[in-house]
Amino acid sequence: MTGDPEQMSPEPSFRRVIRRAAPVAVAAVIGAGAGAAVYAFSNGGGHTSNPATATVVVPAQSAATRTSTTSTPLTQLYKEDAPGVVDITVDSTSSGSGSFGLPFGTPGGTPKQQTEAEGSGFVLDTKGDIITNEHVVDGANSITVRFQDGSTAKATLVGSDKSTDVAVIKADVAASKLHPLTLGSSAGVQPGQAVVAIGSPFGLPESMTAGIVSAIDRTITAPNNFSISGAIQTDAAINHGNSGGPLIDAASNTVIGINAQIESDSNDNAGVGFAVPIDAAKNVADTLIAGGTVKHSYLGVTVADAQTGAGAQVGCVVSGGPADDAGLKAGDVITAVDGQAIAGADALTANLASRTPGDKVTLTIERNGSTKTVDVTLGTRPSSSQNNCSS
């Protein structure tokens, strides 16, 4: 089930590694997915790993320090873009877990523990603004960014938006150290386009992987359980630590998405990754940098594809929400918005995502074999999905 207010809650899952990988969100149209961001370990009250399984990682030699006898379009892209991608380390305090495999905060667990998590981000401008995923920096007590040359700097949170899983942080460094990446557009992305991802999988910064756009217009679930429409699916390898890094169109060398989630039974790359579309992310980043508050339209329903024919079938109507006030009922099938046909749940989600709070829309619905129209004034999305549904 997908739609505007509520999604299936992610099931916490863990695997015993040197650092603990914490899944954050699920891919609504596929099944249970995992956030690709937080590659973390505990500094107290956590779990220890078998020393025999530890891996000593030798930092890779910088591409700028050696001469290559082979140059390809991808090596050139890496040379141009890698300096603009940063490794992000976040220190935070979280509830503990007394038994491996149980969610943080399970009764009987350690009340609090210091944790350190690692993700990725990329530079937006020469003022120090860096974009990443919201779930990379959520709950941060301190944020440190590491640049390609190995230098580090403290960063502060400019703002974040859980509904799009986008955050902006700011590093106070000289402009000469900042190499902004060029933002493209996600509107014209097509399956088959060659793409690369750059980030810090499993704590290995400046790693690049290559693949293609596997599909477009996926709907994934945000950290607050609302829907993110228009997500880009890719088979470029994405693992824990990649979240917040750029998905780059190889032909134009422009950023088309922010790597955010993976779909995997093993919690590692299985060739199915998802990126937040850059058009939506850029709008959020611009608002945050300007000091504004990001607001999203809100209908107040959960929907699924209609069981027969086209349309989005209402499964739940949030009590007191805009849809409830307008008289929508569970079982209604929304077939059009302002006369534009709605093929299914994802199409409705995408249509409403393009609206702003206060917009008035006319919904065409089918109810008990008859067709009618309902006028709805969209509200402002709450901070998290609600379960106070009317029957």
Exposed, middle or buried, 44 (CB in 10 Å: 0-12/13-18/19+)? exposed
Q: Name the amino acid, one letter, at 3.
A: G
Residue whose token pair is 């891996």: 55
Rounded Cα distance, 28 and 336, in Å:
22
**4, 138, 165, 235: which is the annotated catalytic residue?**
165
Closest CA to 138 of 100, 173, 92, 171: 92
Closest CA to 221 of 17, 24, 14, 21: 24
Q: Give the ranges where the chain is alpha helix by DSSP (H).
A: 73-81, 134-137, 278-289, 322-326, 345-353
**135, 179, 240, 296: which is the annotated catalytic residue?**
135
**Number of Cβ within a 10 Å radius of residue 325:** 14
Rounded Cα distance, 278 and 367, in Å:
37
Catalytic residue status for 135: yes
Spatial CB neighbours of 166, under 8 Å, sequence gap ≥ 6: 131, 132, 133, 134, 160, 258, 276, 280, 281, 284, 285, 288
Rounded Cα distance, 229 and 335, in Å:
18
Helix then strand then coil, % of the chain, to nearest 5? 15, 40, 50
Residues of 256-281 as b/e, b for ≥16 C-beta within 10 angstroms? bbbbbbbbbeebbbeebbbbbbbbbb
> Which residues are registered as beta bridge partners of 259?
275
Cα dihedral value 147, 150, 153, 154, nearest 10: 90
Residue 89 host element (H or E): strand 85-94
Rounded Cα distance, 249 and 183, in Å:
10
Catalytic residue status for 165: yes
**243, 264, 297, 385: which is the annotated catalytic residue?**
243
Catalytic site positions: 135, 165, 243
